[in-house]
Amino acid sequence: MALDMEGEFYKLAKDILGKYRNMYKMTAISPQTGRVTIMGADNFMVVSSSILKDLTKGKEEKAYRTGKKCSKDMFDSLMKEFDDEVRDLESRKMFDLGLALSTNTGWGKLELVKFNGSKSIVRIRVKDSIELKYKRAKHHSLTCGFLAGITTVCMRKDMVGKVDEIGAKEVIFSFSPE
């Protein structure tokens, strides 16, 4: 009976990232930089809510770029901390990990609504997003950019996001290649 190492590493990664209690056990403050490190993926910063408010009320392009850069750096470096078996997973399974990480780091309750790997089309529903928590937020570009970064890492190609629907308690985003 051959061992399915890819499956075992995937289960381990999903267990760590999918349950916030497990994920937080893997989180620490780096003694060298004083920044947050998740499983050795260094250099994440904790920012104040006023910075998040500024991003959600400021220019959409800046918020989108900031969100995308943040998630690409975080998710990509975290995947490098796992083994090759996790980095080489199919895109659908990568989304399981990326959305679990996003949910457990405070980006809202995320759900993959549509996934078409051959056409590279993805739709994600977000309940309780950062922007929905701020009543004066002018746009949803920070979360859209953040999810575009996650989608880029999962699909292994540059993806662009847009807001499809905005409801009182949820937002639906779609992503496709540039």
Looking at mean pLDDT, say which of 22-31, 81-90, 91-100 comes out highest: 91-100
| Contact by Cβ (8 Å): 175, 148 | yes
HEC assignment per residue over 42-65 = EEECCCCHHHHHHHHHCCHHHHHH
| Mean pLDDT calculated for residue range 52-72 | 92
Q: What does residue 172 show for φ and ψ, rounded to 5 degrees?
A: -115, 130
Residue 3 clears pLDDT 60, i.e. is over it: no
| Per-residue confidence (pLDDT) for residue 1, from 0 to 100 | 41
In this predicted structure, the answer to whether residue 64 has a pLDDT above a threshold of 80 is yes
Q: Span 148-158, mean pLDDT?
A: 95
What angle, 0 to 180 degrees and rounded to 10, lies between the N-to-C axes of helices 91-104 and 141-155? 150
pLDDT over 90 (residue 172):
yes
Rounded to the nearest integer, the mean pLDDT of the chain is 86
Element (H, E) at 141: helix 141-155
Would the pLDDT of 58 be above 60? yes
Residue 124: the pLDDT is 98
pTM of the full predicted structure? Answer: 0.84
Query: Nearest CA to 146 among 102, 83, 176?
Result: 102
